[in-house]
Amino acid sequence: MNAHDLIALILIGLSAGIISGAMGIGGAIIMVPALVYFFGMTQHQAQGTSLAILLFPIGFLAFWNYYRNGYVNFKIAVIVMIAFFIGGYVGSLIAVRIPDRPLKIIFGILMLLVGIKMIFEK
């Protein structure tokens, strides 16, 4: 890995972290497209790498700031966490069976639909 790649990866991580911490969104919205377009990963590689990046330590400091300010509902968090854990496993079983191009299209459509809904909702 050269210095340019290292700097790009650091910038991707910082961007994803800042946006995730500020907006409460998953960093994958930033990381997956960046890994595909800047590092030539397949959609599967980018999604798998993004999941590896987002394991335990990444969200802890952002969570801590929200917790200190009274913005964490643990009951809801635990319920969703357990469901997310199971859903993530099931989703990964499905995704690894979908060819790269259709998976990329599905990911892009999902991002568009979420963005459009957020822009136009009242």
Domain count, the chain: 1
Average pLDDT, the chain: 86
Res. 110: pLDDT tops 70 = yes
Q: What's the farthest any 2 CA atoms get from each other in the chain?
A: 46
In this prediction, residue 117 carries a pLDDT of 87
8-27 pLDDT, tens digit per residue, is 999 988 888 887 777 667 77
Helices (H), 1-122: 3-23, 28-39, 43-53, 57-68, 74-95, 100-120
Specify the DSSP class assigned to residue 10: H
* Range of the structural domain that residue 10 is part of: 3-120
In this prediction, residue 68 carries a pLDDT of 92
- Tokens standing for residue 112: 């568009």
Quick check: 79 and 71 in contact, CB under 8 A? no
38-72 pLDDT, tens digit per residue, is 999 998 998 888 887 776 676 788 788 889 999 98
pTM for the predicted model, two decimal places: 0.70
- Answer with the residue of higher pLDDT: 24 or 29: 29
**Pseudo-torsion of CA 111, 45, 77, 17, nearest 10°?**
-70
In this prediction, residue 100 carries a pLDDT of 93
